[in-house]
């Protein structure tokens, strides 16, 4: 990674009397393929990243160029230590693991009454103390934000609270007397109670409260400013922080004899969808705030919403930025990767709180979502001077061109004259999209503000972790049913590419729900294919494997967490629950309010053998130590964040 990022260019390495001069960079290589389509051709140009390292033997003068990971790894296997030493010399860390005395005294009083399984002593782990000290050192040297990236289970919450305790102690020391201290935590709804509980367990004397309205927040903040001896932590759910006054569509409606046309209220142009097709259904404007394709004007307007007591509702993030700017000592954003989007209410609330706070600490277990754009808006909102100095807010495409990977698709089709006759003219369309891949050159931009902690750093002896793919064949009737569905939908997709999503969802879900009717419809609501239900009294191969495996684990005292994709309107949990319960297993399904989810897991886990849920319900922060076995019963198009967090 460091070689490919060019971070040790022109560095001299020495080992066993041999001296090398090293230089490296990562380049983009374009793979091109051509495909024939109905009525035309398609050219797909896919970028891929290639690390290219050049070495000069200072004794013999030989020059060698190495490309690709398969060549780099064996060639530099014996040079790991000289490379590590070169990196340490060129990039001096802000924190050198010498814990300052003032912080050592503060940290010694934290988490004293918490007992962890397999650990005799209480208090912070050394890795947690050093991570908190590293964050505080960055703040001391003028940094306004830091990002703590830790594997699931390292205790990011504990480390963040230690940062708060350290900031408060140093604030008191500078003033020579107790000072007020206000911290604000923004986290997913199901973690608000956990943050309040852990604050009281980790930080003696601190007071935490879950905030549910702007009025409650104002009162809590005033108490914090008037009671200097008691640090206070306001815990706000992401959903509460982003709630705003509401919105409704705004457009001009032009009625004709038998139809309606919808036009932009600013420029008057007809409103179209993403494919430049004029909309004819007003529901298109109801789903989310949209903008005019011609001029970018908003096709929505604010409308008032009210709290339960009929007071106008304020977005809490905006309220804090306006009323308490500069008086929030620490803003902690938990699961910060959820704020990666450019224009969401949650992202706006995140940005407002950053502006209101003196220091910001972002916590996550998975900073990268597999693409370069997944960190662009995060770092921009956090206020990174390097990112803001090189890229404007609207230059994410240029960022992707520099650090990401693009795929460009050029399609050429013969056009017709709308009367069914083809002409000699050809239409050429060209579109580019980002695909997974991140250049090592991005690393230097992130290192100065990021602290990484691994489970291994805690010194715990962990059981081995394995991922085992299980391949099962469908039974004869099931396979025949699936083949008919797949063939019919593939044929339909060839005629209309808009049906790709319908084909994908149907073929992903059918093997696990063949016992019910499957109706596949077009975007216009017409029935495309109807697959009749197969017998529901049959135990299909995948279900039989699940029962056998869960029964085996239960017999050995191990609980199983089963992840499912179809848990909403196409829920398969009831059938699986029935099948597992017939085998004598105790089954739970997560169907509680998010704010009670952590409490529910803690209380109900001891009384079950199998827990069924969607991985999105447990993707962030829940402690699932009671479940040593996890089964992804269904594969789905889950983001990398969800898959990583699901096994954390």
Domains of the chain: 1-91+405-438 (no CATH), 101-243+309-403+441-453 (3.40.50.10810), 476-646 (3.40.50.300)
Given this model, what pLDDT does residue 526 score?
86
Closest among 158, 114, 127, 131 to 621, alpha carbons compared: 158
Closest among 619, 646, 633 to 566, alpha carbons compared: 633
- Count other Cβ atoms within 10 Å, centred on residue 528: 18
Please, what's the b/e burial string for 165-183 (b: 16 or more CB within 10 A of its CB; e: otherwise)?
Answer: bbbbbbbbeeeeeebbbbb
Given this model, what pLDDT does residue 108 score?
95
Beta bridge partners of 563: 613, 632
Helix, strand, coil percentages (3-state) for the chain, rounded to 5, are: 40, 25, 35
Given this model, what pLDDT does residue 282 score?
76
Given this model, what pLDDT does residue 641 score?
43
Given this model, what pLDDT does residue 308 score?
53
Beta bridge partners of 409: 44, 431
CA atoms within 13 A on the CB side of 517: 6
DSSP characters over 313-360:
P--HHHHHHHHSTTTB-EEEETTGGGG--SS-HHHHHHHHHHHHBS-E
Closest among 506, 541, 540 to 521, alpha carbons compared: 506
Given this model, what pLDDT does residue 172 score?
95
Tell me how long the chain is.
Answer: 648
Q: Which residues of the chain have pLDDT under 70?
A: 1-2, 38-39, 117-118, 242-246, 257, 274-275, 302-314, 414-426, 592, 594-595, 618-623, 636-648
Closest among 322, 323, 446, 444 to 376, alpha carbons compared: 446
Task: Report the alpha-carbon distance of residue 43 to residue 119 in Å, rounded.
Answer: 59
Given this model, what pLDDT does residue 610 score?
93
Tokens of 592: 């509680």
* CA–CA distances in Å: residue 205 to residues 169, 178, 525: 12, 13, 60
Given this model, what pLDDT does residue 420 score?
43
Given this model, what pLDDT does residue 295 score?
73
CA atoms within 13 A on the CB side of 75: 16
Given this model, what pLDDT does residue 625 score?
74
Task: Report the alpha-carbon distance of residue 342 to residue 397 in Å, rounded.
Answer: 12
- Count other Cβ atoms within 10 Å, centred on residue 492: 18
Residues 6+ apart with CB under 8 A from 256: none
Beta bridge partners of 598: none
Given this model, what pLDDT does residue 622 score?
66
pLDDT digits (tens, 9 = 90+) for 434-477: 998 888 888 888 888 999 999 889 887 777 888 899 999 999 99
Task: Report the alpha-carbon distance of residue 293 to residue 81 in Å, rounded.
Answer: 55
Contact (Cβ atoms closer than 8 angstroms) between residue 634 and residue 565: yes
Given this model, what pLDDT does residue 414 score?
65
* CA–CA distances in Å: residue 371 to residues 31, 44, 227, 375: 19, 19, 45, 8
DSSP characters over 363-424:
EES----SBTHHHHHHHHHHT-HHHHHH--TT-HHHHHHHHSEEEEEEEEEEEE-SSS-EEE
Query: How many Å is the Cα radius of gyration of the chain?
Result: 29
Q: What is the pTM of this model?
A: 0.76
Tokens of 100: 């300052």
């Amino acid at each position: 990674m460091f070689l490919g990022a060019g971070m040790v260019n022109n560095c001299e390495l020495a080992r066993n009397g041999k001296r090398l001069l090293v230089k490296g960079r990562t380049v983009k290589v374009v793979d091109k393929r051509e495909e024939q389509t109905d009525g035309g051709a398609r050219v797909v140009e896919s970028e891929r990243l290639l690390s290219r390292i050049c070495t000069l033997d200072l004794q013999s003068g030989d020059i060698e160029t190495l490309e690709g990971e398969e060549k780099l790894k064996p060639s530099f296997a014996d040079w790991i230590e000289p490379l590590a030493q070169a990196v340490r010399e060129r990039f001096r860390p802000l924190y050198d693991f010498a814990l300052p005395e003032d912080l050592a005294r503060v940290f010694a009083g934290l988490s004293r009454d918490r007992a962890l399984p397999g650990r005799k002593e209480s208090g912070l782990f050394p890795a947690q103390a050093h991570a908190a000290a590293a964050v505080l050192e960055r703040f001391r040297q003028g940094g306004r934000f830091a990002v703590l990236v830790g594997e699931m289970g390292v205790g990011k919450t504990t480390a963040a609270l230690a940062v708060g305790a350290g900031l408060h102690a140093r604030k008191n020391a500078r003033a020579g007397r107790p000072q007020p201290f206000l911290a604000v935590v923004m986290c997913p709804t199901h973690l608000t109670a956990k943050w309040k509980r852990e604050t009281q367990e980790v930080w003696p004397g601190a007071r935490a409260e879950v905030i549910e309205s702007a009025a409650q927040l104002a009162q809590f903040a005033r108490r914090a400013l008037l009671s200097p001896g008691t640090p206070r932590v306001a815990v706000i759910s992401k959903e509460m922080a982003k709630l705003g006054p509401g919105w409704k569509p705004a457009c001009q409606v032009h009625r004709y004899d038998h139809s309606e046309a919808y036009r932009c209220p600013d420029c008057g142009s007809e409103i179209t969808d993403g494919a430049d097709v004029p909309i004819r259904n007003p529901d298109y404007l109801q789903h989310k705030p949209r903008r005019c394709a011609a001029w970018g004007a908003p096709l929505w307007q604010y409308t008032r919403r009210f709290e339960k007591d009929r007071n106008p509702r304020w977005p809490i993030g905006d309220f804090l930025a306006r009323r308490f700017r500069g008086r929030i000592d620490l803003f902690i954003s938990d699961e910060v990767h959820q704020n990666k989007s450019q224009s969401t209410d949650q992202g706006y609330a995140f940005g407002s709180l950053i502006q209101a706070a003196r220091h910001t600490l972002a916590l996550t277990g998975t900073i990268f979502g597999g693409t370069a754009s997944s960190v662009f808006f995060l770092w921009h909102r956090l206020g990174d001077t390097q990112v803001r100095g090189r890229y404007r807010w609207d230059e994410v495409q240029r960022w992707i061109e520099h650090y990401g990977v693009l795929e460009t698709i050029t399609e050429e089709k013969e056009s017709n004259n709308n009367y069914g006759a083809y002409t000699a003219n050809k239409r050429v369309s060209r579109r580019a999209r980002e695909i997974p891949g991140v250049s090592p050159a991005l690393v230097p931009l992130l290192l100065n503000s990021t602290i990484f902690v691994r489970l291994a750093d805690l010194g715990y002896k962990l059981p081995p972790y394995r991922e085992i793919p299980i391949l099962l064949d469908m039974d004869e009737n099931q396979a025949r049913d699936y083949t008919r569905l797949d063939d019919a939908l593939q044929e339909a997709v060839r005629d209309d590419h808009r049906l790709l999503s319908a084909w994908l969802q149907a073929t992903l879900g059918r093997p696990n729900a063949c016992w019910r009717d499957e109706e596949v419809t077009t975007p216009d609501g017409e029935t495309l294919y109807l697959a009749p239900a197969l017998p529901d009294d049959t135990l299909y191969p995948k279900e039989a494997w699940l029962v056998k495996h869960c029964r085996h684990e239960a017999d050995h005292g191990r609980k199983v967490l089963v992840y499912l994709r179809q848990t909403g309107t196409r829920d398969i949990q009831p059938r699986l629950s029935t099948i597992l319960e017939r085998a004598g297993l105790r089954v739970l399904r997560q169907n509680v309010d998010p704010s009670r989810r952590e409490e529910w897991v803690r209380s109900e886990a001891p009384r079950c053998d199998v827990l069924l849920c969607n991985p999105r319900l447990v993707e962030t922060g829940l402690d699932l130590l009671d479940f040593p076995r996890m089964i992804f019963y269904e594969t789905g198009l889950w983001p990398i964040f969800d898959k990583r967090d699901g096994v954390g």
